[in-house]
Structure 1
Amino acid sequence: MEGYVETVKERKQDEKLKNVNLDDWLPITSSRNAKWYYSAFHNVTAMVGAGVLGLPFAMSQLGWDLGTVVIVMSFLITLYTLWQMVEMHEMVPGKRFDRYHELGKHAFGDQLGLWIIVPQQLIVEVGTDIVYMVTGGQSLMKVHDLLCNGHCKDIRLTFWIMIFAAFHFALSQFPNFNSISAVSAGAAVMSLTYSMIAFVTSGVKAAHTTAAVDYGLRASSTAGKVFGVLNALGTVAFAYAGHNVVLEIQATIPSTPERPSKKPMWRGVVVAYTIVALCYFSVAFTGYYAFGNSVEPNVLMSLQKPRWLIAAANLMVFIHVLGSYQVYAMPVFDMIETVLVKKHKFTPRFWLRFWARSSYVAATMLVGMTFPFFDGLLGFFGGFGFAPTTYFIPCIIWLMLRKPSKYGLTWCINIICIAIGVLLTVISPIGGMRQIILDAKNFKFYA
């Protein structure tokens, strides 16, 4: 009798699932009415985040010459690989690769494609959200400290991270990418504004500094310099991370044979990368010029005056990472909800979404509270997860599917990008892990 009842329940569940078009419910594909400028601000929100504030610190570990080469080359390589991904979104007539792993499955096969792409993509997206938990908490704490000017009781970073997380328990319930378009647009404006504040205030600081600024490498020992370079490479890789959500963003744009989605998507990407260039180059070079090798891992933490402006900039960082967290979380929500519905036969409804997404926010909050090491996290996640999905996996897929002539210009460019990306993946996490270990030596958990 029990077996019969279970069978009836399973049939009813299957009937419910049959009556629901899962693509019409999942956050990536449930709305396809985005405009080209949605692509622009989603990409700006995804890229110009915690990474840009860490670029002056990366420069202090690389120096002027190597730092400039690394940042400019990363800009050019990632713009190229982003173009490849936009082109490959609809490379099969009548089919759209709405998710990064769908493109991976097409290139590497159903099983291998999932195993290659999904772990890397999750490392990037979950890792970014953990870093943003720390960044949001640090920014709120900095605003509090600047406004109080020593007259208020100190509040632990742990509590600020919890406050930041509280906003996401609400924001995570927005159903899909297009529903957070206003949040993402506001975040993109904030990122541009606080980057310009960091640029201008650093420039003013440099102009009014009478003491000599030390531009030597940050570390004094040979080992410290080597590990510093490795960490800096990961930090730069972390700054160029939009590839992990680019296909998911493009999936929200309507497409017809006459006007494929790649046209409005690329228009938005060009606008986004113009803003990225403005923010990255100005903040990286001016921040390092102003502070030299004494710059903080987050350049805004190095700035103290004018107090109200720096407080405002940190508040903007907080607002920006609210939106950026959601941009990176949305593909994760899509994966979680797909597994719960397809594999575990849950009914797609509000309460499934509520508990799944709330659990994810809680998990990233707990990890961020446990390991709030901004500089080490950037380097570790930047090398371990961001370099593959950003620097060389698009090139490998391009070579497999487009098959450019061997030793031709396109083939050579892709091979060079692959070599650089593999090198970054292998060496840069070492520097990030070492930095986390150094930061953890004198750290009290949840203090």
Structure 2
Amino acid sequence: MGIFKDSKIYFRLEKDENKNEEQECLQENNEEGKMKKAGGLTVFTATFFLVGDVAGCGLLSFPWALSRIGYVGILLIFLFGVGAIYSATLLGRCWMMISERFAEYHDQPVRHPYPLIGQLAFGKTFRKLVSFCVIFTSCGSSVAYLLLISENLMALLPSANISYGCWLVIVAAVLCPVCWLGTPKDFWPVALFASLTTSIACVFIIIQIARDAPIVPPAFHAPLEFKTFLMAFGILCFGFGGHQVFPTIQVDMKKPEKFGTVAAFGFCTVLCMYVPVAIAGFLVYGSSLEENVLMSLLPGPVQLTAVVLLNLHLLGGFVILLSPVSLEMEDFFNVPNCFCFRRVLMRTILVCILLFVALSLPQFGAILALIGGSTMTCIVFIIPATCYLKLSSMKGDWETIEIPLHEKVLCIEIIVVGTLAGIAATYSALDALTYSHFSKPLYLS
């Protein structure tokens, strides 16, 4: 009886100790949040964060998309770029309305601002929809990053004689411990490094394409097909995605009202990377382009340098993309916001799930098109415009916002066109993942 009583006391003390540890973690995080808000990102550092978040997969996949669409794809790239700037600006306005109307969200750091925007606009059910879009987009993008990194490593180290599936396992095992670390609130140096490596890699890719031009056969451009056009549409949308991270960037800014400037500078920088690479690849390689443009470049020191630089970007990008999903899952399962066994277990399981999906669906282009046509279209175009119209029309103890008629019409056009195009692109991507086009899972080969 005494032993049983002692054991009850022991477990009570252990429980209290764990509770105190969680409270210490919460207090520490609150202090860090206050320090972060006092410091905050500048327009310059926030722009690097945006570029580091957006650029990457689009740089590698846009040449293939352009080869399937033709010259009209150049116009579409610019239209997507302008549309992404406008929708990011609308998203920034939504957050400013929330922070000005609700003091509790202005004075304290918010971990999930995008779903919160959806909740305050349309309620908790809509918040769940936004959360699903964020999770599906981030997880799908992470799978695409795993596939890209492994594909690039195969090209970088062909003499290693390691299969595609083994590379996926190796990459996931290396990235898993890095995913155990905190949140991306202090990752701006990583974003800066990712932006610089992508910019330099862009130059090396163009140089290699120019060197390949007199060597490769003349470019052949296949006739336009409706299904491939829709897949390319999804890929173009994916290349200008990343909006699920933008409110988090804005929350951490010293002057969040300047986020529109960040969006303009950031996406203009991304366009300066995408357009030259896409046009050069389209003109030199034509319809023979691979879904990953690095696989179309002739081997050599310049090509290897571009592969290394872009892999460094993708490694950092994987960790940043997965962080919002990790935080959502940890909130759902009440995992303490500090380094502990439950965090390690949760994030390890998440990486293992993504690895299984990558091994099961090793189709890089179809995955990008599926994400770009479905949830990415919602996150980039439909949700920002919808929430902006709703929040602006809400009445309360705040100044009424009158939206000009032309802006209302523009928002409605974005919602309608985005919905129709997203449905069509999603259907095309799902068709590419059917059994008639399906690649056998790597663990069965």
CA distance in 2, matches of 1:161, 1:311: 19
Name 2:114's counterpart in structure 1.
100
How many matched pairs? 421
- Measured in 2, the distance between the counterparts of 1:251 and 1:199 equals 36
Q: Provide the C-alpha distance between the structure 2 equivalents of 1:42 and 1:242, rounded to a whole number of angstroms.
A: 11
Is residue 330 from structure 1 mapped to residue 310 from structure 2 by the alignment?
no
Q: Pairwise mapping of residues 423-434 of structure 1 onto structure 2 (< 5 A)?
A: 423-434=420-431
Cross-structure match for 2:235: 235
| AA matched with 1:294 | S
After the TM superposition, which segments of 4 or more aligned residues of structure 1 sit over 6 Å from their partners?
4-16, 25-30
Distance 1:270 1:157 in 2: 38
Could you say if the C-alpha distance between residues 368 and 43 of structure 1 is closer, same or farther in structure 2, counting changes exceeding 3 Å?
A: same
Match of 1:357 among 334, 347, 359: 347
Counterpart Cα distance in 1 of 2:286 and 2:33: 43
Letter in structure 1 aligned against 2:26: N
Aligned pair 1:142/2:147, yes or no? no
Letter in 2 for 1:82: A
- 2:273 is aligned to 279
Q: What SS class does the counterpart of residue 244 from structure 1 fall into?
A: coil
Q: Tell whether the 8 Å contact from 1:62 to 1:232 is kept in structure 2 after alignment.
A: yes
Q: Distance in 1 between matches of 2:370 and 2:82?
A: 22
Q: Distance in 1 between matches of 2:27 and 2:116?
A: 16
Partner of 1:246: 246
Task: Report the alpha carbon displacement of residue 358 of structure 1 after superposing the two structures with TM.
Answer: 1.9
Residue 148 of structure 1 is matched in structure 2 by: none
The separation in 1 between residues aligned to 2:248 and 2:269, in whole angstroms, is 21
Structure 1 residue 106 displacement after superposition: 0.7
Query: CA–CA distance in 2 between the matches of 1:266 and 1:323?
Result: 25
> 1:74 maps to what in 2?
80
Secondary structure at the aligned position of 1:90 is classed as helix
Give runs of aligned pairs for residues 135-214 of structure 1, distance below 5 A: 135-145=148-158, 152=159, 154-206=161-213, 208=214, 211-214=217-220
Identity of aligned residues (%): 19
Task: Trace 1:287-326 onto structure 2 (pairs within 5 A).
Answer: 287-305=281-299, 307-326=300-319
Q: C-alpha distance in 2, partners of 1:81/1:175? A: 29
Structure-2 separation of matches of 1:435 and 1:334:
32
The alpha-carbon deviation at position 227 of structure 1 amounts to 1.3
Q: Give distance in 1, aligned partners of 2:31 and 2:222.
A: 51
For structure 2, list consecutive stretches of 5 or more residues without a partner in the other structure. 394-400
TM-score, scaled to structure 2: 0.86
Q: Would the alpha carbon gap of residues 19 and 240 (structure 1) be closer, same or farther in structure 2, given more than 3 Å must change?
A: same
Structure 1: distance between partners of 2:31 and 2:428: 38
Q: Is the 8 A contact 1:237 1:387 kept in 2?
A: yes
Q: SS state of the match for residue 440, structure 1?
A: coil
Moved more, 421-430 or 88-97: 88-97
Give the SS at the match of 1:91.
helix
Structure 1 contact 123–385 (Cα < 8 Å) conserved: yes
Counterpart check, 1:375 vs 2:365: yes
RMSD between superposed Cα atoms in Å: 2.9
Return closer, same or farther for 1:239/1:362 CA change in 2, 3 Å cut-off: same
> What is residue 397 of structure 2 aligned with on the other side?
none
C-alpha separation in 2, matches of 1:27 and 1:301: 44
